[in-house]
Structure 1
Amino acid sequence: MAAYLEIEKDFQFEAAHYFGHPDANDLFKHIHGHSFTGKVIVRGDAQSDKGWIRDLWKIETLVKEVVEPLDHSLLNNIEGLEQPALEQIAMWIFERLSLKLPGLICVEVGRPTCGERARYCVLPDSSVT
């Protein structure tokens, strides 16, 4: 059995959005805002000689770089988020963060006041980075 460790880093941002899709509930077709929360999950080798998977401060810095354009924005105006459902936001963050963060396996984004979350995860290959 292969052993691994996972670490998580939380983040948050404030943003507005609307759903222009014809199937969307009329309530959500108007601009409205949320306090979004999220987390990234990084997997790594349990036998790392460093004693850690990744430097959490570096993860925090990378997450801030990726999430900063979303903060206090109208998400629909951001390329790739024209229909900014939670699922799309999680995928958008994952796609950008995975280019900079080896071992990233999952991004979760939620709206706590609504009790809603979406998670975008990849199935790790047999080797651990």
Structure 2
Amino acid sequence: MTELWRTFSFDAAHYLPKVPAGHKCGNMHGHTYTVEIRLRGEVDPVAGWVRDFGDIKEAFRPLEAELDHKVLNDVPGLDNPTSELLAQWLWERLIDVLPDLYSVSVSETANSGVVYRGAPSV
């Protein structure tokens, strides 16, 4: 079994509406998000790869357009855009296009991030 990944970044603003009063993340602020999309599968004996990296790029492109330089709270389905919920949101939009999806990681900073592993495609 082989894992491969492709990393993307985008800039966006957000605020977390469900944090306690006075929490700094309740205020509008921005991040340069890093997203890592990991696939897992067997190496095709003819092609020599699990998946073309370009396939991952094409799958992420419309999501990047929806998120980059936006207020994440305004994106449908992201009214409470924590990193955890953003990773899940991305998974739900990628799994049908990338059935060998293994995980989606989202980092707000170089020091903090999350990994989401949802149900595999059937």
TM-score if structure 1 supplies the norm length? 0.85
Residue 67 (1) aligns with residue 64 (2): yes
DSSP 3-state at the match of 1:15: strand
Q: How far has the Cα of 1:27 moved from its partner?
A: 1.3
Aligned counterpart for 2:94 among listed residues 61, 72, 97 = 97
Structure 2 residue matching 1:16: 3-state secondary structure: strand
Gaps of 5+ in 1: none
The gaps in structure 2 that reach 5 residues or longer are none
Q: Deviations over 1:57-103 (max 9, x none)?
A: 12112112222201000000111110000000100111101111120
The 1:99–1:88 alpha-carbon spacing in structure 2 relative to 1, beyond 3 Å, is same
Query: How many percent identity over aligned positions?
Result: 33
Given residue 118 of structure 2, which amino acid in structure 1 is its aligned partner? Answer: V
Classify 1:38/1:24 alpha carbon distance in 2 versus 1 (closer, same or farther; 3 Å): farther
Q: Contact conserved, 2:7 with 2:36, CA < 8 A, in 1?
A: yes
Deviation at 1:23?
2.6
Considering only CA atoms, is the larger Rg found in Structure 1 or Structure 2? 1
What RMSD over aligned residues (CA atoms) do the two structures have, in Å? Answer: 2.0
- The size of the alignment, in residue pairs, is 122
TM-score, normalising length from structure 2?
Answer: 0.89
2:31 maps to 1:40: no
